[in-house]
Chain A
Amino acid sequence: MHAYAQTNVQLFNQLKSEGYSEKDRELVRRTYEFAMLLFTGLFLPSGKGFIDHLVGTASILASLHTRIEIVAAGLIHAAYLHGDFGGARKGVSEAKRKKVRDAVGEDVEDCVHRYDRLLWVTKEAIQTVHDHLADLGPIDREVLLIRLANELEHQLDLGNLYCNKSETEQESQQRYMKSYGPMLVSMAERLGALPLATEIATASKNVASTRLPVVPCIRTKHRGAYLVTPTSFRRRLWLTFCTKACDGFQFCLGAPHKVRHKISRVQYLFRTAFRRAGKV
């Protein structure tokens, strides 16, 4: 088992032993309290508590002896993506930013906001960050460090393999790690975080080489973080209505594009089939 914290108590003990001052630890405590409100009841597809993942990310950053604002930002890095602010609107908004600023201060909020803006979803986006790393300013470099710590935390204990419900999915995850692992390592090295680079390399290697039985994987349809509402509670009705309406609207907007995509896919399949038939 790795030595990174998974609970707040472990994190506080770690911060003390790493030599962070009492004032620094106080900021982390305040941020953790805020994280409790935003991420309560949230789980990763692997069944791991989301707040444990956040603590893990902060712990990795603390082990690198980054400044305390970065550790605190690591604790709420997904605030704008998954945080429950009690509204229907997804993503970042000025009202949400104000709430975060009031709770944890401007510096931490700025990092969280930059983290949210950092494009990391597609293959090309990650490649772009990798290629233009030298152009990043000092704060953006630290924000990238949070992103890398987040990636490592997902891989620790084979966490990402536990998200997959079949062997095929596990293999695709392993292929992903084989292709992206070296890029992440290279980014960590160029940021001067050599221990992080080593840890990512080890974790990627473990993920790529382990065959995990599907048996212990939690049964859920969710692909991303999801809320398990405490049984005595339910989602507010107006929020459910708003979310459904938004989803429906977005579906309608995307429908023509989806139809076009389907047609081109069928055309492609026919073309390849005819070509093969011609060769035979």
Chain B
Amino acid sequence: MHSYAQTNIQLFNQLRRDTYSDGDLILVRHAYELAMVLFSGRFQPSGKNFIAHVVGTASILAWLRLPAPVVAAGLLHNAYGNGDFGDGRRGATRSRRRRIRQTLGSEVEAYIAKFSALYWEREIKNARHNPDMLSSIDRAVLLILFADHLEHLIYYDVLYYDETNARGYIDHSIIAAEIVEKLGLPEFAIKLKEAVRETQGAELSLKRPGQNGKNGSVVIVPKSCRKRIAVGLVENLILAVTKTQQKFRRVIKLAHRKLHTVVK
């Protein structure tokens, strides 16, 4: 079995072994405490605890001996995508960014915000052609992304996803291996290649645990809890606005087309 951490205890033991300082441990602990709040009750499509996934990502980053802020960002890399801030909204809003900045500092927040704004095709094109031109933040964020991919592959986690998603992770990891080699991390490249090879050769030991056909991660709410009314209202409001926007756009498109025909 792989030696990457899957629990906070294993991660802290690893950081202690790798002689991260007390200040580093405190930063990572703060990040983990926030991750507990943001990802509580969230599970991957494979049924794996989401926190185990972020801990695994951070563990890979620590294995690469990256600085503590990068490891902490690894613990919260998907905060703006999947984190539950209790505001009923999605993405990197100003209040969310402020909250992370207050807890973990602006450096960690910058990594997380950059990660949430990543666009695979563009970033990879840049990294592939000009690996030396990457800024330190871009480099760190790319490594977080690749660590995230490796974490999805080890233990054959992606095999429990739908085929398109799994294929995507495998293809991206092949490209990632090529880039990390150029970035001067041959061991990481080897790990990525190994993970791809093993995943391609592996077969699923069980059909995936009941996520009702969903491909993304899901929150399983404790039975003794219910949604806050305010959050429900905001969510419904956003949904209604989005639907109206879509309808409005459709109507305009139709009108435009009709006008075009009349003019013709």
Contacts and interface: CB of A to CB of B under 8 A. Distances in A.
A141 to B, nearest CB: 29
B219 interface: yes
A25 interface: yes
A10 B231 CA distance: 35
Contacts of A9: 46-48, 155-157, 160
B43 to A, nearest CB: 6
A106 interface: no
Contacts of A1: 3, 5, 10, 13-14
Nearest to A216: B12
A158 B9 CA distance: 8
Contacts of B86: 231-232
A159 B5 CA distance: 13
A235 B224 contact: yes
A41 B7 contact: no
A6 B7 contact: yes
Nearest to A156: B9
A228 B6 contact: no
B222 interface: yes
B22 interface: yes
B71 interface: no
Given A10-B6, A13-B155, A84 B209 contact: no
B223 A235 contact: no
B45 to A, nearest CB: 11
A232 B37 CA distance: 10
Q: Which of B12, B207, B220 neighbours the largest number of chain A CB atoms within 10 Å of its CB?
A: B12
B49 A49 contact: yes
A239 interface: yes
B209 A218 contact: no
B10 A10 contact: no
A175 B153 CA distance: 42
Nearest to B8: A47
Interface string B14-57: 11100000100110110011001110111100111101100000
A203 to B, nearest CB: 13
Interface string A25-61: 1100100110011001111001111011000000000
A9 B10 CA distance: 17
A201 B68 CA distance: 34
Interface in A226-250: 227-236, 239
A12 B40 contact: no
Given A3-B1, A51-B49, A233-B226, A36 B209 contact: yes
Given A7-B49, A12-B206, A48-B9, 11 more contacts: A1-B5, A1-B10, A7-B48, A26-B206, A32-B209, A158-B13, A162-B8, A215-B25, A231-B40, A234-B228, A236-B225
25 contacts: A3-B1, A9-B48, A9-B155, A25-B206, A29-B209, A32-B47, A37-B223, A40-B220, A41-B40, A41-B225, A46-B8, A49-B49, A52-B7, A84-B223, A162-B12, A215-B29, A216-B25, A218-B8, A232-B84, A232-B88, A233-B221, A233-B227, A234-B226, A236-B224, A236-B225
Interface of A: 1, 3, 5-10, 12-16, 25-26, 29, 32-33, 36-37, 40-43, 46-49, 51-52, 84-87, 157-159, 162, 213, 215-219, 227-236, 239
